[in-house]
């Protein structure tokens, strides 16, 4: 199993026993999400923006308009940091102090570049859409020249990353175990409901298999 080298940048300090630097585990957490949070600095202000992404190997793709403030600032800076978090459960302890959550999170650090090659750019857009719903790119109209030229795509090559995972029950003080207070975990997961067909859709158009497969997998 390959791992990212632990550096001062990606080292998990607090709760280090929950840290994981395994590449496969980090990719698995990244692939289970669709939205990431991207941090950048604009006019000496720290800003964090949620945005869609796709992963291909050790590269994260993000897209936006040509004047997207976040992307243009990151291209100027030359590097980026993104984070992804899954909330898997609420941990309700006997004491207020020990309330917590079960989660899977990843922080990624890497160099950024503008994607200029038209083939890679189109592939990146397909990657992002298929990251949302696998295989759905084959069901949609491709961007036309105007749309394609108005879209800015940024690639982040993952150079360092770390995961932090909590997947356990309540951790209370032993002296609190005898208290007449309920404690436990409320599991949480993201669920997809039945797709709702657009009102203007032609009557003879069926829901694509990719959409049905996605809903079934998230049901």
Residues 15 and 4: their CA atoms lie apart, in Å, by: 18
Would the pLDDT of 85 be above 70?
Answer: yes
Q: Is 124 left (phi over 0), alpha (psi -120 to 50) or beta?
A: alpha
Helix and strand totals (H; E) in the chain: 5, 9
CA-based R_g, the chain, Å = 21
Question: For residue 41, is pLDDT > 90?
Answer: yes
- Which token pair is 137? 């790119």
- Per the domain annotation, does 186 fall within a domain? no
Average pLDDT over residues 61-71: 95
CATH of the domain at 82: 2.30.110.10
Whether 1 has a pLDDT exceeding 70, the answer reads no
Question: What is the pLDDT confidence band of residue 219, given thresholds at 50, 70 and 90?
Answer: confident
In the DSSP assignment, the letter for residue 18 is G
Other Cβ atoms less than 10 A from the Cβ of 57: the count is 8
Number of C-beta neighbours around residue 125 at 10 A = 21
Mean pLDDT is highest, among 43-47, 123-127, 198-202, for 123-127
Tell me whether residue 208 is in a domain: no
Q: What is the extent of the structural domain holding 57? A: 16-88+100-167
- Beta-carbon neighbour count of residue 41 at 10 Å? 11
Q: Calculate the average pLDDT of the chain.
A: 95
Overall number of domains in the chain: 1
User: What is the end-to-end Cα distance of the chain in Å, rounded?
Assistant: 32
């Amino acid at each position: 199993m390959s791992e990212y080298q632990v550096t001062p940048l990606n080292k998990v300090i607090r709760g280090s026993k929950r840290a994981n630097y395994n590449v496969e585990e980090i990719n698995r957490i990244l692939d289970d999400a669709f939205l990431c949070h991207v941090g950048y600095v604009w006019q000496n202000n720290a800003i964090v923006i949620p945005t869609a992404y796709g992963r291909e190997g050790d590269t994260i793709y993000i897209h936006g308009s040509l004047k997207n403030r976040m992307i243009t600032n990151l291209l100027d800076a030359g590097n980026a940091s993104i984070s992804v978090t899954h909330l898997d459960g609420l941990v309700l302890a006997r004491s207020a102090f020990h309330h917590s959550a079960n989660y899977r999170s990843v922080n990624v650090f890497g160099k950024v570049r503008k994607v200029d090659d038209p083939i890679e750019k189109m592939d990146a857009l397909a990657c992002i859409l298929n990251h949302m719903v696998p295989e759905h790119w084959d069901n949609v109209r491709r961007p036309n020249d105007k749309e394609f030229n108005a879209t800015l795509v940024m690639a982040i090559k993952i150079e360092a990353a770390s995961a932090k995972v909590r997947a356990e029950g309540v951790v209370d003080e032993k002296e609190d175990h005898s208290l007449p207070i309920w404690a436990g975990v409320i599991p949480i997961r993201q669920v997809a409901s039945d797709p709702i067909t657009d009102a203007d859709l032609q009557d003879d158009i069926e829901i694509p298999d990719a959409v049905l497969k996605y809903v079934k997998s998230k049901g």
